[in-house]
């Protein structure tokens, strides 16, 4: 390569947290930070497209991931374990790390101060993401990052609804969006039929459709999901993870053109003029740093960690971290009402399966087979009901009913609202640490040694009014299905819990209000592309992953074009 390695190494030694040792050097063609579904969409598309171009057929891709690798394939969905599919309540979100914890959470008033050191208002604990700069009233308290190979795709709901036209960005024309969504749905294996044979799915959808048959503004459909029902045993499904997107590249060592290095922190990009010349990485296991030189660089670390990486690299366009949107979320759980259970018992449509169930489990009072799949229903977003809905059964750190209620009776209702775009809703990365004069000017770091994110986010009056209507709508729908489960009554969840932050590296044509162009390339930098929900410039209520994959496909197409011209 034509880079001045000596000069870059000197700059690296100046910037590295531990200077003095010679940097190891790796050369590749494409560098990707982040192994989540977006980073893997970049890798898969670039790998496939370059393979068919003689000039580019030897293109190599190097991917780094700060988290660990814990499965036979890179980034498989943890819910694919049979044990979780037998008992969904055992499943809890994996590898989630809170992004900003206000200092009040570290105060322990009952801790004996005599033998123990306790924090006070002027000297707060800052470990594990605790952030003395975070105003709790402006925090996205439940916002978190997934640090593991596969990223969010190791535990996402796999909901892949097509956005309503009101949600859809104007980045592309209608026909361009259609083509991108077709490719994205194929990549993640989106379907609406995997649960059609489920008794509970059918009865929930039928109950709600009948309840609102005279309401032309409501429609209850099967929730689009990235999932396949297994052919060897249809009792189980295979949820889409990063491994699905990678395909054969998900097998470690399967191609010399693709390398994934786990437990590796991407620290900063080297840049001068309008070009990235290299990137510093740290091997977390050995605590050693090295440099990767590439022709193309991609950051797909999530809506917060990607701007964090740019900030740490000194790439700080004015809109970076601003225009942050996150979905509000209302939640409840109900137990199906007796009349619905009776309908299952006596409906000829289900008679054969109900009879068989009673034969194999004569003491079971319910007519629902133990292996009957959960419901997966949605009322799509429309202008009369401007929110996305999921009427299904899943398990997170909230909504675990435990043994008190038979899981076959439980239905979760999750309503997701959008947030009006506001330039002042943002994430920042400050260098002031505490009021302690000895530390003034020192950099506040997160638990991985990167600049600590601090949120400034609040709902506006329109958001609050819409959230109230959304909650009322959820309760109305829930009442047609059953009664609330104690502890899971209708509630507005902590901001950030949807894990659908958008807008922080938004796409657009105006450099004053956007970070990247329509191809997700950073303005004024010729070889740096960004990916993830942060690219989406509009406020969406539906799950954004599918849309982010559309951007990644467009971006990786442009990367292949760029490589072909080098």
Which entry of 500, 523, 527, 533 is annotated as an active-site residue?
500
Q: Are strands 24-27 and 288-293 parallel, antiparallel or unpaired?
A: parallel
Task: Mark whether 312 is an active-site residue.
Answer: no
What residues does 33 pair with on adjacent strands?
A: 64, 299
For residue 90, what are its two tokens? Answer: 């055992």
- Count CB neighbours of 342 within 10 A: 11
Beta-carbon neighbour count of residue 415 at 10 Å?
A: 28
3-state secondary structure of 158: coil
* Nearest-angstrom CA–CA distance, 495 and 140: 5
- SS3 label, residue 15: helix
Question: What is the 8-class DSSP label of residue 489?
Answer: S
Q: How many residues does the chain have?
A: 566
The torsion of the CA quartet 182, 186, 189, 190, rounded to 10 degrees, works out to 0
SS (H, E, C) 307-322: HHHHHHCCCCCCCCCC
Sign of the torsion formed by the C-alpha atoms of 518, 520, 523 and 524: negative
Q: Which of 80, 131, 312, 543 is catalytic?
A: 543
Q: 233 to each of 82, 237, 371, how far by Cα in Å? A: 11, 8, 11
With residue 298 as reference, give the H or E element that holds it: strand 296-299
* Cα gap 421→426, rounded to integer Å: 11
How far apart (Å, rounded) are the C-alpha atoms in residues 549 and 542? 14
Among 397, 299, 324, which residue's Cα sits nearest to residue 96? 397
Residue 210 bears catalytic tag: no
The Cα–Cα gap between 391 and 35 comes to 30
Contact, 89 vs 488, CB < 8 A?
no
Distances (CA, A) of 411 to 66, 373, 391: 36, 12, 7
Token reading at 562: 């760029």
302 three-state secondary structure:
coil
Cα 430 to Cα 443: distance, rounded to the nearest angstrom: 7
Helix (H) or strand (E) holding 184: helix 174-188
Sheet containing strand 275-283, strands side by side: 24-27, 288-293, 275-283, 264-272
Tokens 């004053």 belong to which residue?
512
Per-residue tokens: 36 = 């989540």
- Rounded-to-integer distance, Cα 504 and Cα 512, Å: 13
The span from the CA of 495 to the CA of 413, in Å, is 17
d(CA 373, CA 386): 29
- Of 374, 350, 372, 266, residue with least CA distance to 311: 266
C-alpha–C-alpha distance, residues 23 and 20, integer Å:
9
**Catalytic residue positions?**
500, 543
């Amino acid at each position: 390569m034509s880079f001045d390695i000596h000069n870059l190494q000197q700059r690296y030694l100046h910037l590295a947290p531990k200077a003095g040792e010679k940097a190891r050097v790796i050369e590749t063609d494409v560098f990707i930070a982040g192994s989540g579904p977006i980073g893997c969409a970049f890798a898969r598309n670039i790998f496939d497209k370059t393979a068919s171009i003689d000039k580019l057929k030897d293109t190599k891709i190097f991917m780094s991931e700060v988290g660990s690798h814990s499965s036979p394939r890179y980034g498989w969905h943890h819910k694919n374990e049979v044990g979780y599919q037998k008992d969904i309540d055992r499943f809890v979100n994996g590898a989630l790390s809170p992004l900003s914890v206000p200092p009040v959470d570290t105060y322990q008033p009952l801790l004996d101060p005599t033998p123990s050191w306790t924090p006070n208002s002027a000297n707060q604990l800052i470990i594990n993401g605790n952030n003395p700069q975070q105003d709790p009233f402006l925090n996205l308290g439940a916002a978190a990052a997934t640090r593991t190979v596969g990223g969010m795709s190791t535990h996402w709901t796999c909901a892949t609804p097509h956005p309503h036209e009101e949600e859809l960005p104007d980045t592309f024309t209608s026909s361009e969006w259609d083509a991108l969504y077709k490719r994205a749905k194929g990549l993640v294996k989106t379907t609406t039929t995997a649960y059609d044979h489920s008794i509970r799915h059918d009865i929930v959808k039928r109950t709600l459709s009948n309840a609102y048959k005279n309401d032309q503004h409501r429609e209850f459909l099967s929730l689009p999901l990235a999932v396949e029902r297994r052919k060897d045993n249809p009792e189980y499904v295979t949820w889409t993870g990063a491994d699905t997107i990678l395909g054969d590249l998900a097998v470690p060592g399967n191609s010399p053109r693709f390398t994934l290095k786990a437990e590796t922190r991407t620290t900063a990009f080297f840049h001068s003029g309008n070009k990235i010349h290299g990137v510093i990485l740290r091997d977390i296991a050995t605590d050693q740093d090295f440099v990767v030189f590439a022709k193309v660089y991609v950051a797909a670390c999530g809506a917060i960690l990607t701007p964090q990486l740019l900030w740490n690299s000194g790439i700080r366009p004015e809109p970076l971290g601003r225009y942050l949107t996150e979905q509000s979320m209302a939640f409840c759980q109900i137990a199906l009402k007796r009349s619905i259970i009776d309908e299952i018992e006596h409906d000829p449509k289900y008679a054969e399966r109900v009879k068989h169930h009673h034969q194999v489990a004569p003491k079971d009072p319910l007519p629902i087979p133990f292996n009957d799949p959960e419901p997966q229903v949605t009322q799509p977003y429309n202008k009369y009901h401007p929110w996305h809905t999921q009427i299904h059964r899943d398990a997170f750190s909230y909504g675990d009913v435990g043994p008190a209620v038979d899981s076959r009776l439980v239905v979760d209702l999750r309503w997701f609202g959008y947030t009006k775009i506001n330039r002042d809703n943002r994430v920042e990365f400050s260098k002031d640490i505490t009021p302690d004069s000895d530390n003034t000017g020192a950099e506040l770091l997160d638990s991985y040694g990167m600049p600590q994110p601090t949120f400034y986010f609040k709902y506006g009056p329109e958001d609050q009014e819409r959230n109230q209507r959304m909650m009322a709508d959820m309760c109305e729908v829930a009442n047609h299905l059953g009664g609330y489960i104690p502890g899971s009554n209708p509630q507005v969840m902590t901001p950030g819990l949807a894990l659908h932050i958008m807008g922080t590296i938004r796409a657009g044509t105006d450099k004053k209000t956007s970070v990247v162009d329509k191809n997700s390339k950073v303005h004024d930098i010729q070889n740096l592309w960004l990916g993830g929900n942060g690219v989406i410039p509009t406020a969406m209520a539906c799950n954004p992953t599918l849309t982010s994959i559309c951007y990644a496909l467009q971006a990786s197409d442009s990367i292949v074009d760029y490589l072909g011209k080098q």
